[in-house]
Structure 1
Amino acid sequence: MSADSRSFNDESDKESYFQRRPRRRYCEFCVKNKKADPKIIDYKNLNILSSYIDDRGKIDVRKRTGACAKCQRKIATAIKRARHLALLPYTIEHIRLSGFSSKNHS
């Protein structure tokens, strides 16, 4: 069935049919999906880890980070290790007291 033979009731039906699908996001950490060198997940690399923490100090979900399940678990473990060693803040209150901002380390 071609687009010409379809009957559209109004312009919005036509627009919704011809919308482009968003590009698939690939994990930045996986070697198989990356042409260049992949990022390394390490608890000492605060620049990368702080970009996966929101303003309130929570770890971002997979949908927002774009990481695969395996890499998301590694990110969460690395963030928890960095928090335990006081390299990253636990909560918003710790952010206020220390002056730490994830935007400054990016």
Structure 2
Amino acid sequence: APLAMRPIEESAYDAAYFLADAVIISGKHTGFETPLEDLKKVRGVLPEYPIMVGSGMNKANAGKIFEVASGAFVGSTFKIDGDSYKSIDSDRVKDFMKVIKEIRNR
């Protein structure tokens, strides 16, 4: 949850100003997609700053996310059925990484 109720781009700018290594933008909960619009707002005020996605990245949205974000933390998308309480599914990891490699080769 936000530390203060104010526009996300203001909070992100403050984090950069106070020398955070990166800004992390997340969805509402673990596994919930990070709103692309939030990423774009932050990128607008921090055009060269590392912006990380903290939740909800998957094969379907990776291309759009990496048009804006610098990187991502990925967890539940690797789990059986995408459930963060279940074990890692190696096939899901392999499928996801195929998509990431395609994005990197563009």
Give the alignment's TM-score, normalised by structure 2. 0.31
More strand by share: 2
Higher relative contact order (CA 8 A, sep 6+): 1
Between structure 1 and structure 2, the one with the greater Rg is 1
